Structure 1
Amino acid sequence: MKKYEVFFQCSLLLFFLWSSILFASAQEGPVPKVFQNESAGQNLEKDYYFPAGSRFVTNIPTPSQFFNHQIGHSHTRYDQIVDYFKILEQRSGRIKIDTIGRTWEGRPLIVLKASSPDNIRNSEQIRQQHIETINKAKENRIVSNETQPALVFLGFSVHGNETSAAEASILTAYYLAAAEDPVVATSLAKGIFFIDPVRNPDGYDRYVNWVNANAAFPPNGSPLDREHNEVWPGGRTNHYWFDLNRDWINQVNPESKARVSYFQHWLPHFQGDFHEMGAASSFFFEPTKTDAQESPLVPKSTYQLNQKLATYYAKALDEIGSFYFTKEQFDNINPTYGSTYPDHVGSLGILFEQASPRGLFQKTSNGDLTYPFAIRNHFRIALASITASIDHRTTLLENQLRFFQSAFELAQKDPVKGYLVDLKYNNNTAAHFKELLARHQIRYLTNNRDRKVDGKDFEKGTSIIIPTAQANYRLVKVIFDETKTYVDSVFYDGSGNSIAYLYGFSYASLKQGVDNGESDQSSAINPHAIALTRSNYAYLVDWRQEGAAWLLSQLLQRGILVKSASSPFELSDQGRTIGFDYGSLLIPIQGQPISADELFDLLQKLNKRGNITIASASTGYSGKGIDLGSSGFKSLAPQNALLLTGNGISAYEAGEVWYTFERQLEQPILRLNLDQFSRVNLEEYQVLVLASGEYTGLSSAAIERIRAWVKNGGTLIAFGRTGQWLAGQKIASFQFLDGRSDSVVPKEEKPTKTKERFDYASAQGREGTKRIGGTYFNTEIDRTHPIGYGYTQKTKPVYRNHTLFVELGDQAYNNVAIYSKSPLLNGYASAENQKSITGTASIIVENSGNGRIVYFVDDPLFRGISFGNARSFFNAVLLGQVLQSGIRR
């Protein structure tokens, strides 16, 4: 007898005892029948989930046999799913598992392939033939491959607390591995089905452990029950509290990097993206709203396929009596989702959203919503996706080939022939950008001559060219998106897509051919810094290098004496005249806690590890600007940082801060829950970071402690809505423009508005124009201000997803960044909002006693990819201490 069978049988008494208690309790309370009937011997797999008449081989354990609970009566942990999939691989010749990477917390990222035994054995050959066919299409040679299996990706639970999708993946995997059905056999012969059971294992297990530990017995349907209200930050996000369904383009997290690499390795024809939504909803599948909510870069034929496949989903849900909706709420504008990224790279992506019980069951306005019900809907949609993909296999294949063929036709019509990108001073960010391009299969070239385009200088060897004439033309246009006009004004998420703005690079469009470069993808992924030479006097670091902040943090953590330049200067090194900008670092030999030899060894290691150029100085006399002994060099002290976390605070932004400290600065940060604030000794910390949110959990005594700490020399860094809270508590004096929904101007001070009447049905569109859901704007930054040190351009793009309009501060020298004239760069913003934002503040510093408050109106660490804005955040953390409290006006 097999081990799992022994365990299963030994658990039967407990299993039926629980069922009996549950059934007895049900007589007294409204427990749904899907739980009550278990005591009568109901088998959910046979009687509820699987299509009527389904038969299965007996040598493969069913999910309930393996897990010792029926799917839907408990939440299955990720490690259990992995173990079960391994059993399927061992017992079935239809199954093969690929491990494609690991999460931040070390969990394996697996994908189960299901197909006929022949296809499984020959899967690599099938993949190579598939890629070869696509490559021919890229060369304008369409070659039909009638034997090509459909490649179907099914991705579940990218949001960790949307668990019914993961449970459905278990049923789908078992069904494909064990079903004795000629229709299934035909599907397996004509397709390879890739099941990605949990796309966010870290967040998934965080939620599953919560809900299992807090599950009511018997199930409690009240939305107020603890089971349905997980604690902050929740399981939606990954380890660093990132939303992985916003990371397909950005490629910040290991889960996304592994997934996109695997996607590009196979280039499937179809990808289903399985989610959950609010409990009061039903089920959503595409199509989305037509025209206005579709990406202009995606061929119409792709969206027409949505219409064809929708009939399969409608039929699947009609058969089991489930309600659904289409053409509402969700859009296809933003390409960074698991359902929209495929559309932009030649596949068909479709979104599925199931109402979530957030537990075993929840009472809703639509009646009782049970976990098994949600699982069954997702499972039946997965089967419908398989059937639809096989039925439309030829159409999917042809659509993909035409997609890549048409890319070159579009590029030929495009007046922009390429993008010239300046990577000088940005070795590490350049490496990330080039790796991103390579992972998305985007070709780039080395710029082999000095150029001046649109008034910008691009040096040979430190800039690259990304031609538009390539197979992934559409992704290139996404990265450098400059769209400003849209048919609609209501978006599910952001309308601006241009991540080039987030990198902070200077770039220009090329209107001529770009054939004078050579491929750069294999030889220069990571530009190297100049090797360090020994000095007996001092070492210097130009602050314009984006790795300089990391280097400074490492040195300060080791107690090394470092100074920052308040003015530019020039010095000679090895016969070269080198210019050093505002903020540049001086590391003297004298006065250090370690010897000159130890200092050199340390700097040499950091030079190599951080890929940052460190210059050697043999004299303190500068050819231009301040000398090394000038008081214009300010000594820097270590900056211990504290981040407040908990209810009311944006987990996304708090996670970005945490990630930035640990993964970019490599500096510890204390994450402190609001309810523990009274226990911390603030005097041990020099920096306090408040992500956007409400801090109502802080007592008046705590607020007074913060106020006194700032006046005593602390640096308080605030994001977004927190500026309003600071102003309301009189910690800061920020002013917000009247007339906005986020305004803090008292109601009695607001001018009387003219009363109007509008059609009720027009409310959504009319109110949508008032929002800024995710748009890029241009700001002008003061490069002479310590918060602006290191920037090489006078302008700095920011990403904005709110309507906070902040007046310039009274301390004129501390209005660090303001919105420029004609600020809109990419994305939707009404004419009124564009007018309102012009000339308002993006970064303000307010001195308070011996300390200062640095207010980032816009998130400087947006989704971990805002390298250009992160520089100002690093300045606030490390250089905020040099701000002169005496400068007021």
Structure 2
Amino acid sequence: MTRLIRFLLFLLSIQPAFAQNQTPDQFLGFPLGSKFAYHHLIVDYFKSIQSQNADRMKLVRYGTTNEGRPLMLAFVSSSENIAKLETIRTNHLKSIGLLPGKADAEVPPIVWLSYNVHGNEAVSANTSMQVIYELLNKDNALTQDFLKNMVILVDPCINPDGYERYTQWYNRVQNVSPDVTPFAIEHDEPWPGGRFNHYLFDLNRDWAWQTQKETQERVALYNQWMPHFHADFHEMGPSRSYYFPPAAKPYNKDVTAWQRHFNELVGEYCRKYFDKNNWPYFTRNDYDLFYPSYGDTWPTANGAIGVTYEQGGGGRAGLALERTNEHDTLTLNSRIAHHYATTLATLETVMSQREKVISEFIKFHQDAANAPTGSFKTYVVKTGDSENTRSFSQWLDRQGFSYGIAGKSISTKGTELTSATEQPVKIDNNDLLISAFQPKSNLLRILFDPKPALEDSVTYDVTSWGLAYIFGLKAYGLKEKLTPATNAAMPIENTVPAALPYAYLSKWSDSEDAAFLAELLKNGVLVKTSNTPFEMDKNSYASGTLIITRKGNERIPFDKLVTSLANKHSVKLTPVKTGFVSTGPDFGNDNVVALKAPKVVALSGDGISPTAFGAIWHYFEQQINYPVTIVNAAKLASLPWNEVDVLILPDGRYADIISDRQVEAIQSWVKNGGKLIAMEHATDAFVSKPGFGLTKKFSEKRKDDDTFKKYGEQQREDASDSSPGSMFQITMDRTHPLAFGCGEAYFTIVRDAYERDYLKDGWNVGYLKEDNYKAGFVGTKMAGRLKNTLIIGAQEMGRGQVIYLMDDPVFRAMLEKGKMLFGNAVFR
């Protein structure tokens, strides 16, 4: 009995030790900061901490990456708040009008901390372990005060696939003792680097467009919580110090006075930590609040305080890097310390203003719903009969906007958004109406803005993004308030007619049409298309219309297969009884041609732009679900040309990839029936080469005043010869198959000038004239280079074709009509 009592007393004595949270060091088995922790270990650490603190932490798996890794979010607060977490959420959304009813209790500030959106900025995910430990450390009085007064959301790694790509590589090549030598292999990250996600997209540019799986899943949860504050943790070049707010100019004009003030306040709290420790830092440079698709600007447009933190380091820094400019060695430990300090500063800032943080957030959304600012009170999007608003409607849903169809005909006046002209507007029954009187109308206004005001020209990303341009919409802004009659149009549902048709017709106007075509071809369906417009049964059909005839498809379950695939892709089919048309080519005419299922190859690897390649890869695999074979650019010379129908060269540096001999091999392949698609700087490889009609325009010599430019104005001098992303309307030859389905006006985001002369032996399908600029910043020197120049060209060569794209139509998967153009390039 005595021994039993002693054993029970022993168990009681060690119980606190078992209940104590493990530090990151204890859990990992190595000191935090001495090695990059693999993603699964970070996830397991969060699970371990949650298991010991179930009353104060809730861990949610909100999605998975393309490679199957979990996307996790930890909710951390007091036990009282965690017990009523759903009540807090619903009261919060009621208070801002995103749920019906009235809140029956006040809510605490909700702070969302996002780490590691760029995979090789790997300090962030490692910092998250220290953050979660200290938030739940009962001996830390400061963090326990945070939990009493806030709900804190911690995302340890937004981009697990990129993070793991980096850490797997680094942990394989690092020395036992980190090599601080800058030219060591552990500071030379291989292509494509860990910055991007699986499809090599920059997730920090995807908040507004939500083209990526990770973004869609994260924003869906974000919209369920609508945090008051969102902090985004990054790294920059290793020679730099640390950036925190105030942000640099330009600010978007719709950033409120309160948000500007709080941005300054965050900087004050950060400075206390950095000044106390004599850490270097900078503010008000480089990182602006203009383009509304970042982790700071998109939340800002949603009413939150959005901030970015940038630690010097990134993929090159590794575990330790000697820096001659700073006379120090930059270590992972020091980077963790800095990010941890700004995390605390963030939470302290919110704590200091918690009542006003909540009241200003409520006011932001109530004002938006009841008295929206801006000239337009309703946006009208014409649907016509082209079905080209499917993608747009899906995007509206992901953003959380309210909208619907008009439900009746209305005649009024409005401003056509791409031309900024006031016109009569005839609103039809199925046109979309989006009222500005809704809680998210500030975001709506910013994204619809066709020409956002830019207070400073020094900015490093897209400066024009109007939704009418991006989605290729006929859209109007109305000064009057109109209310939709119903939430949405009826879904498309095709059925097999009782009298089996001669053919099915499908219009070509939306990216889903390309996905429909791709699936038809994969299933062995014979698909034809008309290269000229035609009319039948009093209906007009544009060039590019798909004609799916019964003849030639006898070996497949024709009607069932075609209609089921059309329903899958929300494509409206028109069954017809004859191949005779009233105007235009009959279906047996030479202008009605068969489309083949091509074998497509795209180059990747050293020298190729990762994001340009990633956009192509994503287009085939996720947008149209059509097979693409990826080949390392270094293996181009050994390509079995007879097995390739289409070769895509993404943007890149091709001087070391394509030799003159390979140019000759490519030309021979094209002449035998191949199709070459050269994009952006890939076109450099063919300029003035024999047989290729691409030439560079004559450029004027540098003016004398450029010779004596001022060193202190270097940044602005550079900006004068740049276009970080401006909107242009390309003049198109709409009769050419590359332009089919691209609409009456084709807009694109121009980021560089290639100064290509018009083709003398080929088709100048798309080009810029004197007045094609629409919106966004273009430097004074760059502006002259973006006039009277070829953008899209096609050259017939023997039995094949070369397509020159000095513009990337699938850039960031943003441009709806660009996807149509690229589909034409591949399949037509």
Q: TM-score, normalised by structure 1?
A: 0.85
Residue 371 (structure 1) aligned to one of 318, 332, 340: 332
Partner of 1:839: 788
How big is the shift at 1:868? 1.1
Checking the alignment, whether the CA contact within 8 Å between 2:317 and 2:330 is kept in structure 1 is no
Distance 1:699 1:718 in 2: 15
Q: What is the aligned counterpart of 2:353 among 392, 395, 407?
A: 392
Instruction: Establish whether residue 333 from structure 1 lines up as the match of residue 290 from structure 2.
Output: yes
Does the 8 Å CA contact 1:422/1:464 hold for their aligned counterparts? yes
Q: Following superposition of structure 1 onto structure 2, how do residues 96-135 of structure 1 map, counting pairs within 5 Å? A: 96-135=58-97
2:275 corresponds to which letter in structure 1? D
Shift in Å, 1:480: 1.3
SS at match of 1:841: strand
- In the alignment, which residue of structure 2 is the partner of 1:316? 273
- Cα RMSD, aligned residues only: 2.6
Correspondent of 2:548 among 587, 600, 603: 587
Cα offset, 1:163, TM superposition: 0.6
Q: Say whether 1:518 aligns with 2:469.
A: no
Aligned-pair CA distance for 1:401:
2.2
| Paired residue type of 2:696 | F
Deviation of 1:89 after TM superposition, in Å, equals 0.9
Residues 261 and 65 of structure 1: is their aligned pair in 2 closer, same or farther, counting only changes over 3 Å?
same
Partners of 1:195 and 1:346 in 2: CA distance: 19
Match of 1:550 in 2: 515
Correspondent of 1:706 among 655, 666, 670:
666
1:826 and 2:775 are equivalent in the alignment: yes
**Alpha-carbon shift at residue 689 of structure 1 (Å):** 0.7
Change (3 A) 1:318 1:79: same
Task: Check the 8 A contact 2:531/2:544 in 1, yes or no.
Answer: yes
* Residue 845 (structure 1) shift: 1.0
Q: Deviations over 1:515-541 (max 9, x none)?
A: 3x2242xx44x7415434363533332
Which residue of 1 is the match for residue 11 of structure 2? Answer: none
Is the CA contact (8 Å cut-off) linking 2:693 and 2:760 kept in structure 1? no
1:757 alignment partner AA: F
**1:149, 1:190 within 8 Å by CA — same for their partners in 2?**
yes
Q: 1:279 to 1:529 in 2, by over 3 A?
A: same
1:712 is aligned with what amino acid?
N
CA–CA separation in structure 2 for the residues paired with 1:752 and 1:310: 43
| Structure 1 pair 539–167 and aligned structure 2 pair: CA distance change class (3 A) | same
Structure 2 residue 531 is matched with structure 1 residue 531: no
Structure 1 residues 825-846: Cα deviation after superposition (integer angstroms, max 9, x where no partner): 2211245544542332221112
**TM-score computed with the length of structure 2 as normaliser:** 0.91
> For 2:118 and 2:479, how far apart are their aligned partners in 1?
42
Q: Structure 1 residue 431: deviation in Å?
A: 3.6
Check the 8 A contact 2:688/2:695 in 1, yes or no: no
Letter in 1 for 2:66: W
SS at match of 2:670: helix
Matched, 1:496 2:496: no
* Bigger mean CA deviation after superposition, 195-204 or 759-768: 759-768
CA contact under 8 A between 2:252 and 2:454: conserved in structure 1? Answer: no
- Three-state SS of the structure 2 residue aligned to 1:647 is coil
1:868 matched to 2:828? The reply is no
CA-to-partner distance for each residue in 1:796-829, whole Å, 9 max, x for gaps? 11011113233222146x1111225532222112
Of the three residues 354, 359, 379, the one matched with 1:419 is 379
Q: Match of 1:87?
A: 48
Matched residue count: 797
Separation (CA, whole Å) in 2 of partners of 1:324 and 1:245: 22
- Asked if the contact 1:484–1:824 (Cα under 8 Å) also holds between the matched residues in 2, the reply is no
DSSP-derived class of the 1:341 partner? helix
1:486/1:184 Cα in 2 relative to 1: closer, same or farther (>3 Å)?
A: closer
Counting only pairs closer than 5 Å after superposition, residues 275-674 of structure 1 correspond to structure 2 as 275-289=234-248, 292-356=249-313, 358-364=317-323, 365-366=325-326, 367-407=328-368, 411=372, 414-424=374-384, 427=387, 430-450=389-409, 460-483=428-451, 485-515=453-483, 517-520=484-487, 523-524=488-489, 527-533=491-497, 535=500, 537-544=502-509, 546-572=511-537, 577-592=538-553, 594-595=555-556, 598-674=557-633
Following superposition, the deviation at residue 424 of structure 1 comes to: 4.2
Q: Which moved more, 1:763-772 or 1:81-90?
A: 763-772
Alignment-mate amino acid for residue 134 of structure 1: I
Distance 1:869 1:458 in 2: 27
Structure 2 distance, partners of 1:240, 1:324, is 33
Instruction: Measure the CA separation in 1 of the matches of 2:175 and 2:752.
Output: 38
Secondary structure of 2:250 counterpart: coil
Contact 1:716–1:853 under 8 Å retained in 2? yes
Report the residue type matching 1:390 in the other structure: M
Separation of aligned partners in 2, 1:688 and 1:649: 14
Q: One-letter code of the match for 2:198?
A: H
On the 8 A contact 1:76/1:208 being kept in 2, the answer is yes
Q: Which runs of 5+ in 2 are unaligned?
A: 1-15, 417-422
Structure 1 residue 422: deviation in Å?
2.3
Distance in structure 2 (CA, Å) of the matches to 1:628 and 1:432: 30
Identify the range of structure 1 (829-838 vs 378-387) with the bigger mean alpha-carbon deviation. Answer: 829-838
Over 3 Å counting, the alpha-carbon distance change for 1:824 and 1:175 in structure 2 is same
SS in 1 for 2:355: helix
Report the equivalent of 2:13: none
Tell me the amino acid that sits aligned with residue 527 of structure 2.
V
- Contact kept in structure 1, 2:90 and 2:99, CA below 8 Å: no
Structure 2 partner of 1:848: 797
Equivalent runs, 1:22-37 vs 2, <5 Å: none
- Residues 607 and 458 (structure 1 numbering): CA distance in 2 closer, same or farther, change over 3 Å? farther
1:817 matched to 2:776? The reply is no
For 2:216, the equivalent position in structure 1 comes to 257
Gaps of 5+ in 1: 1-54, 740-748, 880-889
Residues in 1 aligned to 2:760 and 2:365: alpha-carbon distance in whole angstroms: 55
Query: Structure 1 179/877 Cα, relative in aligned 2: closer, same or farther at 3 Å?
Result: same
Contact 1:542 1:580 in 2 (8 A): yes
Query: Paired residue for 1:885?
Result: none
Q: 1:457 to 1:804 in 2, by over 3 A?
A: farther
**Match for residue 797 of structure 1?**
747
Aligned: 1:149 with 2:108:
yes
d(CA) in 1 for partners of 2:770 and 2:385? 28
Q: In structure 1, how many angstroms separate the alpha carbons of the residues matched to 2:188 and 2:657?
A: 18
The aligned counterpart of 1:807 is 757
CA distance in 2, matches of 1:164, 1:254: 23
1:180-191 aligned at under 5 Å gives the runs: 180-191=139-150
Deviation at 1:378, TM superposition (A): 0.7
Alignment match of 1:716 (pick from 659, 663, 676): 676
Residue type of the alignment partner of 2:788: G
- How far 1:507 moved relative to its partner? 1.4
Q: CA deviation at 1:240?
A: 0.7
* Aligned residue identity for 1:313: C
How far, CA to CA, are the matches of 1:441 and 1:184 in structure 2?
33
Q: Report Cα offsets for 1:230-272 as digits up to 9, x if no partner.
A: 2211111111111000010001112111221222211111111
Q: Aligned equivalents of 2:18 and 2:268: distance in 1?
A: 31
Judge conservation of contact 1:249–1:336 (CA < 8 Å) in 2: yes
CA distance in 2, matches of 1:207, 1:511: 51
Preserved CA contact (<8 Å) 2:536 2:581: yes
Q: State the distance in 1 between where 2:627 and 2:99 align.
A: 50
